[in-house]
Chains A and B, each alone.
Chain A
Amino acid sequence: MTTPIPKIFRDRYGPLVDDPDAFFDACQTEPLRSFRINRLKTTRDNIIDRFAKHGLNICQAPWYHNAFWFEKWPDGPTLEQFAGLIQMQELASMLPPLVIYKELSLAKRVFDTCAAPGSKTTQMAAMMNNQQLIVANDKNFRRIAALRFNLDKAGVINTVVTNEDLRQYPSAEFDVVLLDAPCSAEGTVRKNPTLLNRWSLRRIHSCATTQRQLILSAYDLLKPNGVLVYSTCTFAPEENEGVLTHLLTNRNAEIEPIDLPGLKYSTGLPSFQNTQYNTSIKRVIRVWPHRNNTDGFFIAKVRKP
C-alpha cells in the first residue's frame, strides 16, 4: 500500500517540476535494485559475464559505465554481493563522486565529511584505485560501525576514519571535499515511504540551519583551487539553493558547471516562494525521480579560487 502524498508537499513541489503527475507517481514507485561494480575487486566484463551465465538480466545506467540495475531481483543475495564485487547503491547516490571524477584522479587528500555508511567513500576509493588518501569522517560514533563494515567489504585501504563534528574540525587542507549533507531525505521517499508521515517544514528548516554551518566548515578545509561537492537527497530549496547562496554570500566561492552526459536533470532554482537565490546557482543540478527512475538528488560543484 502506498503512503498518500500530503497536500502541502504537492503544493510545494508540483510547480517546480515539468510533469507534476509523473513526479508524484514516481515518488510512490518502488526503486530499482541498483548496484555499482567495485573496480577494486573485479572488472565490468567479469560481472556482466557472471550475471549472464546465471540468467540475471542487468541494465546499465546511461550516465555511468559502472552503474547497473537488476531487471528482476534475484531470489536472494548473490555471491558477487557477498564477496564485495558489487555494491548495492542507489543510482543517484553514485552521482556526487562522478562529478569530481577528474579531480579525484589528481587529488592527494580527499575529505568525505559525513561519510557513513560509506557508499560514496568506497566509490571514491575505487575511482582513486586505492591510492593517495581519503579521510572519511562521521560525527555519529554508532554509524562508524557501518562505515567500517563497508570499507572491509569493498576492500578499501586508502582511507582513515575520524569521528568529529565537522563544525569543530581543526584546520587541515584537502584537494577535494565531499559534503553529502544530512538532510530531510525527501528524495528517498520511494525507499522510505513512511517519511512522508513525518514530513514537516520545521524539519526542513532545522536541517538547513545545520547545513549552512556545515558548508562553511567544509569549504574552509579546501586548499586554494580545491573542489567542494555539496549534495543532498532532498528537494527542499531551503536545504539546497538556500545553503549554496549562504556559502556564496559568506565566502569567495565559485560554482562550476556540471556535465553528466546521459543523465536528465534540471538546473538550480533562481527563486523559491519569496526568496531569490544567487544567479550562479543555475550551474547546480537537480535530479528528479521521474526523469531517470532514481531517487531525487541535488548536487553542486564549488571551487575555491
Chain B
Amino acid sequence: MKPCPTEYSTRVTGYLEERFGLPRELFDGYALWLGSGGRIYLGPLPPSLPVEIATCGLMIARVQRTIKPSTALFQLLGYHVTRARIELTDAQTKAYVAGEDVAPSPEQIADVRIGYVCLTHDGIAIGCGLLKNGMIENVLPKAVRLKLSYV
C-alpha cells in the first residue's frame, strides 16, 4: 500500500468526473492510495507513522485495462453522481442485490452510454453495475450479495 502515483490518481479522478460527474473537489483533503492488483483506495493524507500501512480508507476503483469503480464508492458518494446513473425498480433492486443481472427498460437507459453505471433505488445508492448489450450485468462482490427481506 503506497500513495497513488499522480498518473494513476489523475486518470481515476478524471474518469469519475467525466463519466459520473463526480467533481474532483470531493477528494480534496484526502489522498488516493495504490494497493495490490491495481486497487485504488480513498484514504487520509499520508500520515507520519513508524509502521507499514497494511490498507486504508475506502476501495474506490480497480485499474487494469479499464477503470472499474467500486460498489463501496457509489454507496458513499452515489448521491453526487449526475451522469450514468440508473434508478432501479423494487423488483430489479431485489434481484440485483441478490446477485442477478437485470434487464432495464429503454426509458431507464435512454441517456446512458454503455459502461459502468451507478445504481440507485428510492434514495439509496445500491452500487456499481455494468451496462452492456442492453443488460445491467451484476458486478457486486459476492461477499456483499444478500437476499433482501424487502426493498
Indicate whether A and B interact. Answer: yes
Which A residues form the contact surface with B (CB < 8 A)? Answer: 40-41, 46, 54, 74-85, 109, 131-133, 135, 144, 148-149, 151-153, 155-164, 169-172
Per the bound structure, the CA–CA distance linking A162 and B76 in Å amounts to 23
Task: Please name 4 further chain A to chain B contacts, defined as beta carbons within 8 Å, in addition to the given A157-B57, A160-B43, A169-B51, sorted by A numbering.
Answer: A79-B93, A152-B70, A164-B51, A170-B50
Q: Is the CB of B51 within 8 A of A162?
A: yes
Q: Which residues of chain B (48-66) have a CB below 8 Å from chain A?
A: 49-59
Q: Is the CB of B121 within 8 A of A109?
A: no
Q: Which residues of chain B (8-56) have a CB below 8 Å from chain A?
A: 29-30, 42-44, 47, 49-56
Interface string of B112-151 (1 = CB under 8 A from A): 0000000001011110000000000000000110111111
Per the bound structure, the CA–CA distance linking A84 and B146 in Å amounts to 13
Per the bound structure, the CA–CA distance linking A67 and B61 in Å amounts to 32
Q: Is the CB of A160 within 8 A of B148?
A: no
Q: Is the CB of A76 within 8 A of B147?
A: yes
Q: Is the CB of B47 within 8 A of A133?
A: yes
Per the bound structure, the CA–CA distance linking A65 and B47 in Å amounts to 32
Q: Is the CB of B58 within 8 A of A170?
A: no
Q: Which residues of chain B (92-119) have a CB below 8 Å from chain A?
A: 93, 97
Q: Is the CB of A162 within 8 A of B44?
A: no
Q: Categorize the interface residue count of chain B.
A: 35 or more
Nearest A-chain residue to B27, judged by Cβ = A157
A152-B59, A152-B72 known; A76+B51 contact, CB < 8 A: no
Which chain B residues border A144 with CB–CB below 8 Å? 54-55
Q: Is the CB of B56 within 8 A of A159?
A: yes
Q: Is the CB of A135 within 8 A of B49?
A: yes
In the complex, which of the residues B49, B123, B144 contacts A162, with contact meaning CB atoms closer than 8 Å? B49
Which B residues form the contact surface with A (CB < 8 A)? Answer: 29-30, 42-44, 47, 49-59, 70, 72, 75-76, 93, 97, 121, 123-126, 143-144, 146-151
Q: Is the CB of B51 within 8 A of A170?
A: yes
Q: How far is the CB of B22 from chain A (nearest CB, A)?
A: 14
Q: How far is the CB of B77 from chain A (nearest CB, A)?
A: 8
Q: Is the CB of A159 within 8 A of B43?
A: yes
Per the bound structure, the CA–CA distance linking A170 and B52 in Å amounts to 11
Q: Is the CB of A78 within 8 A of B51?
A: no
Per the bound structure, the CA–CA distance linking A33 and B136 in Å amounts to 34
Which chain B residues border A151 with CB–CB below 8 Å? 57-58
In the complex, which of the residues A79, A84, A149, A172 contacts B97, with contact meaning CB atoms closer than 8 Å? A79
A75-B149, A82-B97, A152-B72 known; A157+B30 contact, CB < 8 A: yes
In the complex, which of the residues A109, A149, A160, A169 contacts B53, with contact meaning CB atoms closer than 8 Å? A160
Per the bound structure, the CA–CA distance linking A76 and B148 in Å amounts to 6
Q: Is the CB of A149 within 8 A of B148?
A: no
Per the bound structure, the CA–CA distance linking A224 and B29 in Å amounts to 27
Which chain A residues border B147 with CB–CB below 8 Å? 76-77
Q: Is the CB of B125 within 8 A of A152?
A: no
Q: Is the CB of A82 within 8 A of B54?
A: no
Nearest B-chain residue to A81, judged by Cβ = B146
Jot down 12 A-B pairs with beta carbons below 8 A, ordered by A: A81-B146, A82-B144, A82-B148, A133-B44, A133-B47, A135-B47, A152-B59, A155-B58, A159-B57, A160-B43, A161-B55, A161-B56
Per the bound structure, the CA–CA distance linking A254 and B150 in Å amounts to 50
Per the bound structure, the CA–CA distance linking A264 and B57 in Å amounts to 36
Nearest B-chain residue to A164, judged by Cβ = B51
Nearest B-chain residue to A109, judged by Cβ = B47
Which chain B residues border A169 with CB–CB below 8 Å? 51
In the complex, which of the residues B51, B76, B143, B151 contacts A79, with contact meaning CB atoms closer than 8 Å? B151
Per the bound structure, the CA–CA distance linking A109 and B47 in Å amounts to 9
Q: Is the CB of B126 within 8 A of A78?
A: no
Nearest B-chain residue to A42, judged by Cβ = B124
Q: How far is the CB of B151 from chain A (nearest CB, A)?
A: 5
Which chain B residues border A77 with CB–CB below 8 Å? 146-149
Which chain B residues border A84 with CB–CB below 8 Å? 75-76
In the complex, which of the residues A41, A82, A149, A159 contacts B76, with contact meaning CB atoms closer than 8 Å? A41
